[in-house]
Amino acid sequence: MRLLYNASDGTLRWTHDIIRSKEIPPYAILSHTWGEQEVTFADLKDMENAQSKEGYRKIRFCAQQAERDGLDYFWVDTCCINKTNSHELQEAINSMFRWYQNAERCYVFLSDVANDTSEIDSKSALKQSRWFKRGWTL
């Protein structure tokens, strides 16, 4: 398991690959639906490229919310798994339930629900969110 954290220079960095569960610090995890411009593991190596993608918004959201909740580390599937490494990808798929289960906090990012709608409209939009129709929901 590899976690993200905010470095002192304001960039996002990964921890080393943590093997032993007792070494995993408290962390937050993000539940979301994938879009067309996700930030991948490779993208995050080039922060300028990562920040230009729409998917960066949800990573930033997770980082900021984790910080507000007193958590230094967080996990987002799109950029914490090196999907070009088939062994790592398989291990992540097999472990994901446990990673969600062991997270201190789980944040949900609903990219298809606007923040600036009326209370009535937002309840309707919330019920229609595609997040409720996907496989990895809470």
pTM for the complete prediction?
A: 0.85
Confidence at 117, pLDDT banded by 50, 70, 90: low
Q: Give dist(CA 11, CA 108) in Å, integer.
A: 22
Sequence length of the chain is: 138
Which of the pair, 81 or 127, is modelled with greater confidence?
81
Q: What does residue 74 show for φ and ψ, rounded to 5 degrees?
A: -155, 165
Task: Report residue 131: phi and psi, to 5°.
Answer: -55, -35
Task: Write out the two tokens for 74.
Answer: 């967080």
Portion of the chain with pLDDT greater than 70, in percent: 91
Question: Which residue matches tokens 């300028």?
Answer: 48
Other C-beta atoms lying within 10 Å of the C-beta of residue 56? 21
pLDDT tens column, 25-49: 999 999 988 888 999 999 988 888 8
What confidence tens digit (pLDDT) does each residue in 83-113 have? Answer: 999 999 999 889 988 999 999 999 988 887 7
pLDDT (tens digit, 9 = 90+) per residue, 46-87?
888 888 999 999 999 999 999 999 999 999 999 999 999 999
For 66, other C-beta atoms within 10 Å of its C-beta total 25
In this predicted structure, what is the pLDDT of residue 127? 78
Mean pLDDT of the chain: 87
pLDDT of residue 21: 81
Residue 56 has a pLDDT of: 92
Q: Are 21 and 99 in contact (CB under 8 A)?
A: no
Is the pLDDT assigned to residue 136 strictly greater than 70?
no
For the chain, counts of helices (H) and of strands (E): 5, 5
φ, ψ for residue 14, nearest 5 deg? -100, 155
113 token code pair: 């629900």
Give the model's pLDDT for residue 131: 84
